[in-house]
Structure 1
Amino acid sequence: MLIDFAKEGVSGYQRVFDRAPELTSVATGWDGIGFGYDYMPPGETTEVISMQHTLAIFTHTSKSQWAERSIDGKFHREQVANGNMILVPAQVGCQSRWFDWGGVIFFSFDPFKVHQAIEHSHIELIPQFALNDPLVHQIGLSLKLILERDSFVSRLYGESLTNTLIIHLAEYYSTRRISIQEYTTDLSRFRSVIDYIYAHLDQDLGLSELAAIAKMSPHYFSQLFKQATGLTPHQFVIRARVERAKELLIRGMSIAEVAKQVGFVDQSHLHRHCKKLLGVTPRMIQKS
């Protein structure tokens, strides 16, 4: 079964498992990235070949469970424990059978995302049967949590977390060592990015979009932007939105219109971030 998750999305998942996942990132617009969670009954799949790299992270299992898996023609009968991961590179066949209920976080990403993250170096990921990687597990749980808690998940925040995950996989589960590019951390290097952020606060900004302005990979951009400004790109954008919102509220603009103008999904989203960063609500700013 050949699957292109970038085009098929949830329907591709349904073709493999005969059911829809409980949670997906379809509505978030994350660029070249797919995320889903499901609590699955015992079952099996035919051999699946995905156009994307795929990662499965097992969670919410009360005990080690037996599973049978064939990846790239190699067969394993293995015990799968809470936090274990399976990595299947793009265009590599995988067939599985499992015998108990359990939670699974699914993550897919285009091969281009790996090359983009590490300055277009050629990286070939290596298939991995069930193994424990605490960082992969924690990032998976964090992505699941933000999708559960927030109906509006910032594309910048989601892409930043997934970029960290992709870099980690490329660094530890590939055929070659990642070469590190040297950059300066001078704030002037990011002036054009900062100007762009303030000019487009009403838009759902993405990590790759901002990194392209700085002419560097998303990975290095995230690291160096924080060194230069003291804030992650996501934190900087949120702070810039709150600052602009304060100005507009003082001028007498309605809270609903301000939220729209600065890129928050609604009034409650604006309220939460104003309270967190300024210690006051939008209505309190208006009254003062």
Structure 2
Amino acid sequence: MNHNSLQSLSIDFNQDKEGAYKKVFQRSPLVSSQSVGWDNLSIIYDRQPAIELPKTSLKQHCIGILTDIPSTIQTDRIIDGRFVEEHNIQGDLIIVPANTTHQAAWYGEGASVAIAIDPTVFAQTIYEVVDPERIELLPQFATPDPFVYQIGVALKSALLKHGTSSRLYAETLINALIIHLLENYSTTRQNSFEPIAGTLPKYKLQQTIDYIHACLDSDLSLNRIAASVQMSPHYFSRLFKETTGFTPHQYVINCRIERAKDLLKQGKLSIAEIAKEVGFVDQSHLHRCFKRYVGITPKTFSQQYRS
């Protein structure tokens, strides 16, 4: 790897989307948030052979999670001019803050999840916890982080399923990731956080429920639900769960199942039509969720109701 490379490739995921990845790797990834229609997120899952990457500078915070590493991979990495020879293992986390140069060469094959988080989104997520002006995300060479690894595996699964409800799930995971990064990989002292406590006011809870029911057949996103009651996604999620006992994602799935039950009882629509009507991707997606939540399939539920 050329440690003295002066020219840096400028990368902006907001502007170029998946094209930003192509600039670095000269090809499309296996799957990305853009390819599955999650336009407000920048998540990529890809498998990489041994490769040397050019020197880059991203406009976004870049989080790499090594999700599928069958055996230790030697990697030469430079972040912000500092060189480290890594021995990467499954579960490693790498952080390259926005506007920080990064260069790497690795000597084995593996797969990873990469997430680009815009600094403004990072600030909006944390502003009800701590003053964003007082924190700075720190560069992080490969280090094991079990919590982030689980988030990476869950994001990979959500991307590969790319269901309507998976987008809301992915947003929830990204928000949890941002708070974890804030607490563990930033300059902010732990004792400067203000704990989030309390519940949603009744009128905001009702506004949320009304919004969810009105938009149940659409691609509901955590950001939109939170914005409907003028709250940040992270703060809203915490208070919503404290109030209802459910995460927003769980609540939406429950609402979709309950509406599907009503439509199955009416017997006017096919199961495939009901799936679309209540916001599931297709009949098999409804089938999986219905069986998990109700214990029987939609078809069995319909037959039992009629008998």
Q: Say yes or no: TM over 0.5.
A: yes
Which one of 122, 131, 143 corresponds to residue 114 of structure 1? 122
Q: In 1, are the aligned partners of 2:158 and 2:169 still within 8 Å (CA)?
A: no
1:13 Cα deviation (Å)?
A: 1.0
In structure 2, relative to structure 1, the CA distance for the partners of 1:176 and 1:30 (3 Å cut) is farther
Q: In the alignment, is residue 171 of structure 1 matched against residue 187 of structure 2?
A: no
Q: 1:125 matched to which residue of 2?
A: 137
Q: Does 1:137 align with 2:146?
A: no
Count of aligned pairs: 288
Identity of aligned residues (%): 45
Q: Distance in 2 between matches of 1:186 and 1:109?
A: 27
Counterpart for residue 242 of structure 2: 227
The offset of 1:280, in angstroms, is: 3.3
Separation in 2 of the partners of 1:58 and 1:285? 42
Matched, 1:47 2:55: yes
Task: Name the residue aligned to 1:161.
Answer: 173
Matched, 1:99 2:107: yes
Query: Paired residue for 2:230?
Result: 215
Pick one of 231, 247, 255 that aligns with 1:240: 255
Instruction: Compute the displacement of 1:187 (Å).
Output: 6.2
Q: Is the 8 A contact 1:69 1:96 kept in 2?
A: yes
Shift of 1:55: 1.1
1:234 corresponds to which letter in structure 2? H
2:48 and 2:17 mapped to 1: Cα distance?
18
Counterparts of 1:172 and 1:72, CA distance in 2:
20
Superimposed CA distance per residue, residues 218-255 of structure 1 (whole angstroms, 9 cap, x where no aligned partner): 11221221121111111111111111122122223212
Shift of 1:43: 1.5
1:181 shift after superposition: 5.8
In structure 2, runs of 5+ residues without a counterpart are: 1-8
What residue is the counterpart of 1:89 in the other structure?
97
Q: CA RMSD in A?
A: 2.1
- 1:261 matched to 2:269: no
Equivalent of residue 5 in structure 1, options 9, 13, 17: 13
**Aligned match of 2:65:** 57
- Counterpart for residue 192 of structure 1: 207
- Which deviates further from its counterpart, 13-22 or 132-141? 13-22
Please report how far the alpha carbon of residue 75 of structure 1 lies from its aligned counterpart in structure 2 after TM superposition: 1.8
Structure 1 residues 2 and 267, CA gap change in structure 2 (3 angstroms)? same
Partner SS for 2:94: strand
Residue pair 1:28, 1:152 contacting (<8 A) in 2 also: no
Q: Does residue 204 in structure 1 map to residue 219 in structure 2?
A: yes
Task: Report if the CA contact (8 A) 2:36-2:162 is conserved.
Answer: no
Report the counterpart of residue 34 of structure 1 in structure 2.
Answer: 42
After superposition, the C-alpha distances for 1:98-148 in whole angstroms (9 at most, x for unaligned) are 222222221111112211111263232111111111111111011112323
